[in-house]
């Protein structure tokens, strides 16, 4: 919401009427295309470096 209302400058009715795809395209237009998802080895390294503490998984 902060990005749509504040950074992109959409008024609330435009945000609430938009689809997730429209919001994604607007954000991509503002910030550029995001990187690819992490592969499994990278994800495992991150999980080892930053383990969950408490919550559902720890």
**pLDDT at 49 (0 to 100):** 95
Model confidence, pTM? 0.54
HEC per residue, the chain: CHHHHHHHCCCHHHHHHCCHHHHHHHHHHHHCCCCCCCCHHHHHHHHHHCCCCCHHHC
Taking only the tens place, the pLDDT of each residue in 2-58 is 888 888 999 999 999 999 999 999 999 988 888 788 899 999 999 999 998 776 655
Buried b / exposed e over 19-58, threshold 16 CB at 10 Å, is eeeebeebbeeeeeeeeeeeeeeeeeeeeeeeeeeeeeee
CA distance 12 to 27: 16
Tell me what pLDDT residue 22 has.
94
pLDDT in the model for residue 58: 52
């Amino acid at each position: 919401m902060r990005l749509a209302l504040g950074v992109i400058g959409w008024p609330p009715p435009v945000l609430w009427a938009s689809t997730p795809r429209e919001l994604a395209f607007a954000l991509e237009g503002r910030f550029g295309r995001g990187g690819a998802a992490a592969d499994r080895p990278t994800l495992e390294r991150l999980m080892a470096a930053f383990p969950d503490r408490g919550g559902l998984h720890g």
